[in-house]
Amino acid sequence: MLNIEVLHALKGVFISSEHVSGEEFKQVATSFLLRHRNIQALKWIPKVNSLARPSIESSQLKSHEDFEFTEKGSDESLVTAKTRSTHFPVVYLEPFSGNENALGFDFASDPALLRVLNNARDLGSSMASAGIKVVQASEQNSIYVFLPVYDGEPSTLLKRQERLLGFVAGIFRVADMFDSAIKRTWVQGIYYTLEDITNDKHQSLYSHLSSDVSATLHQSNSEIVYQRPLTRFSGRQWQIHAMPSEGYIAERRTEFPYLIALFGILGSLVLAIYVFFIMRHSHMVNMQVLERTRDLNLAKKKLEALSMTDSLTRIGNRRFFDNAFEREWQLAIRNKTRLALLMIDIDNFKSYNDTYGHLAGDECLVEVAQAIAEALHRPSDVVARYGGEEFVVILPHTRDCLSPAQRCCENVAALNIAHSNSTTRPYVTVSVGVTSIIPTESDDMVKFAAIADMALYKAKENGRNQVFVDAEAIIPKAL
Ligand SMILES: Nc1nc2c(ncn2[C@@H]2O[C@H](COP(=O)(O)OP(=O)(O)OP(=O)(O)O)[C@@H](O)[C@H]2O)c(=O)[nH]1
């Protein structure tokens, strides 16, 4: 933009003076060029009708011998310009030295540049050319910027075309412009490329790199290329690329993310294995707990059964009887059913022990228990050892309690266990006391058991080896 300002200042010289001499132009242009070193050259390009050409050429011949309007021939060498209705020759040029060939060059002879000139004329603003290799500037790209100068201040297109006097023009080296623009923000290792993308044609204006290196970088780091269009400049659209060099990337590359990823994966793996073992261990513990619980339940059941069994006779013990009696008593109350109780005692067992010994007594107890159990036919009947040589039988829901009592006596007698000192028979016999009741809430189960005991006492008293039925238990046939 600073360069454009120079053109505006130069334009001011042409507007403020009727005729600007070559000497005046040189003076002003030299002072600008001294302060703006990246301007390669400044020019004055008047609009010249074909009729006015001879007078312009002859007046210029006074200061520059061999002056004529020139254009590029077919072999790129400069030749005399053809006659055109309008010429745009370079009349003033600064610095002259080194740019001699450019003096007299007719811009109307170059269709591309003429288009830029005409655009500048029609729009009344500065217009830049595409990148060009000017004769003086070796391999570097330069651009022309043309600023129209009018007679007065025409406001319409037609008036601008009519009143055009010519153009002040500047040649700017793109490399110099670019370097001075980025010199404050230059970062070592970042490669810049400047492109002209006006009309979608990509023209490389300037690059920090040779074109082949730039292409390689472009491919290899394409994902980290910065690409941004610049603000439009004198009718041109430029675009900037910035690419990091391999060195720039290498300097900033760190193994840290890889290490994090590696440790992350390893950590996850270790965690997964740890969780797997914990779950397996927990499953095994659960299985063991289940197994132990099952064993414990079994053992508990066994213990319960043992605690309810008489160790000698293998039938229920006193505890078993107490539980069963309580249960059946409550059931009979609820169901209003009859409950019978048989107290059974081996006759003269003391003398049996005395005669045959304690071990024989034990064997006798086992056989008597078995015989009593076999005398009971219902699964709900309960037999237990009440204590010593005394047994007890509970018969739930039973009207006829005499028959089972008699079967008990008969079964024991049928064992035919020799008892020479018995007061009844020469074999082991039992006495049975029987009672029964349809209990109610007001009845007492302890008293009920005592009645059965009393009946047993009566049976003993009446001579043993018999059944004594308590009066309460005798049920008339009609009931
Ligand atoms: N071998 C053996 N004898 C027992 C057991 N329990 C109790 N006795 C014995 O059984 C006998 C019971 O005697 P008693 O209560 O006098 O009665 P009894 O001799 O049978 O006379 P009655 O009942 O009147 O016919 C006692 O001598 C006890 O020692 C036992 O488990 N094994």
Tens of pLDDT, residues 348-364: 999 999 999 999 999 99
The angle subtended at Cα 319 by Cα 317 and Cα 321, nearest 5°, is 70
- My answer on whether 285 and 404 are in the same domain is no
Assign 188 a pLDDT band (cuts: 50, 70, 90).
Answer: confident
Predicted pLDDT of residue 215 = 56
- My answer on whether 89 and 171 are in the same domain is yes
Predicted pLDDT of residue 268 = 96
Distance CA 137, CA 465 (A): 150
Predicted pLDDT of residue 217 = 55
Encoding tokens for residue 394?
A: 């509970």
Distance CA 173, CA 192 (A): 16
For the chain, what is the total number of helices (H) and then of strands (E)?
14, 18
SS3 at position 66: coil
Domain that includes residue 35, residue range: 2-182
Q: Which residues contact 355 (CB under 8 A, 6 or more apart)?
A: 419, 420, 421
Predicted pLDDT of residue 249 = 81
C-beta of 347 in contact with ligand 1 (< 6 A): yes
Encoding tokens for residue 187?
A: 């970062």
Whether residue 478 is contained in a domain is answered as no
Distance CA 286, CA 293 (A): 10
Whether residue 442 is contained in a domain is answered as yes
Which among 315, 318, 389 is the best mutation to test ligand 1's pocket, defined by most ligand atoms within 8 Å of the CB? 389
Last residue of one domain, picked from the residues 132, 162, 182: 182
C-beta of 389 in contact with ligand 1 (< 6 A): yes
Last residue of one domain, picked from the residues 166, 182, 198: 182
For residue 422, report the distance from its CA to the centre of ligand 1, in Å. Answer: 13
Residue 266 has pLDDT above 50, yes or no: yes
Q: Calculate mean pLDDT across residues 147-176.
A: 92
Q: Calculate mean pLDDT across residues 82-105.
A: 91
Inter-residue contact 308 to 320 (CB < 8 Å): yes
Distance CA 367, CA 369 (A): 5
Predicted pLDDT of residue 216 = 59
- My answer on whether 331 and 446 are in the same domain is yes
**DSSP annotation string for 67-79:** ---EEE-TTS-EE
Residue 88 has pLDDT above 70, yes or no: yes
Strands 142-150 and 127-128, sheet pairing:
antiparallel
Q: What is the identity of the amino acid at 353?
A: N
Whether residue 265 is contained in a domain is answered as yes
For residue 226, report the distance from its CA to the centre of ligand 1, in Å. Answer: 115
Distance CA 108, CA 81 (A): 9
C-beta of 358 in contact with ligand 1 (< 6 A): yes
Residue 53 has pLDDT above 80, yes or no: yes
244 or 346, which is more confident? 346
SS3 at position 384: strand
- My answer on whether 280 and 137 are in the same domain is no
Q: Which has the closest alpha carbon to 191: 169, 162, 211, 163?
A: 211
- My answer on whether 141 and 226 are in the same domain is no
- My answer on whether 333 and 467 are in the same domain is yes
Inter-residue contact 385 to 369 (CB < 8 Å): yes
Residue 182 has pLDDT above 80, yes or no: no
SS3 at position 178: helix
Distance CA 378, CA 293 (A): 35
Whether residue 479 is contained in a domain is answered as no
CATH classification of the domain holding 117:
3.30.450.350
C-beta of 460 in contact with ligand 1 (< 6 A): yes
Predicted pLDDT of residue 363 = 97
Catalytic (active-site) positions: 389
**DSSP annotation string for 8-59:** HHHHHHHHH-S---HHHHHHHHHHHHHH-TTEEEEEEEE-EETTTHHHHHHH
Q: Mind listing the pLDDT tens digit for each residue in 104-159?
A: 999 999 999 999 999 999 999 999 998 887 755 556 788 999 999 999 889 899 99
> In degrees rounded to 5, what are phi and psi of residue 401?
-95, -10
Predicted pLDDT of residue 373 = 97
Last residue of one domain, picked from the residues 167, 182, 197: 182
Looking at the CA of residue 364, tell me the nearest atom of ligand 1.
Answer: 1
> What's the whole-number average pLDDT of the chain?
90
Residue 343 has pLDDT above 90, yes or no: yes
Beta bridge partners, 309, equal 316
CATH classification of the domain holding 389:
3.30.70.270
Looking at the CA of residue 358, tell me the nearest atom of ligand 1.
Answer: 1
Encoding tokens for residue 25?
A: 């132009």
Whether residue 313 is contained in a domain is answered as no
Q: Mind listing the pLDDT tens digit for each residue in 361-395?
A: 999 999 999 999 999 999 999 999 999 999 999 99
Looking at the CA of residue 359, tell me the nearest atom of ligand 1.
Answer: 1
Dmax (CA) for the chain in angstroms is 182
Distance CA 382, CA 378 (A): 9
Count the domains in the chain: 4
Q: Which has the closest alpha carbon to 195: 236, 247, 151?
A: 236
DSSP label at 436?
A: E
Predicted pLDDT of residue 136 = 55
C-beta of 365 in contact with ligand 1 (< 6 A): yes
Looking at the CA of residue 388, tell me the nearest atom of ligand 1.
Answer: 6
- My answer on whether 349 and 462 are in the same domain is yes
Predicted pLDDT of residue 96 = 87
Whether residue 312 is contained in a domain is answered as no
Q: Mind listing the pLDDT tens digit for each residue in 410-431?
A: 999 999 999 999 999 999 999 9
- My answer on whether 120 and 195 are in the same domain is no
Residue 433 has pLDDT above 80, yes or no: yes
Distance CA 280, CA 303 (A): 34
- My answer on whether 215 and 247 are in the same domain is yes
- My answer on whether 295 and 336 are in the same domain is no
Question: CB-hemisphere CA count at 13 Å for 327?
Answer: 12
Q: Mind listing the pLDDT tens digit for each residue in 215-232?
A: 555 555 566 788 888 888
Predicted pLDDT of residue 424 = 95
Q: Which residues contact 19 (CB under 8 A, 6 or more apart)?
A: none
Whether residue 211 is contained in a domain is answered as yes
C-beta of 391 in contact with ligand 1 (< 6 A): no
- My answer on whether 85 and 161 are in the same domain is yes
Query: 172: part of which helix (H) or strand (E)?
Result: strand 164-173
Distance CA 182, CA 178 (A): 6
Whether residue 295 is contained in a domain is answered as yes
- My answer on whether 298 and 325 are in the same domain is no
Assign 479 a pLDDT band (cuts: 50, 70, 90).
Answer: very low
Residue 476 has pLDDT above 70, yes or no: no
Predicted pLDDT of residue 478 = 44
Distance CA 314, CA 333 (A): 30
Please give the share of the chain, as a percent, with pLDDT higher than 90.
Answer: 66
* Window from 111-115, 337-341, 468-472 with minimum mean pLDDT: 468-472
For residue 355, report the distance from its CA to the centre of ligand 1, in Å. Answer: 12
Predicted pLDDT of residue 100 = 86
SS3 at position 238: strand
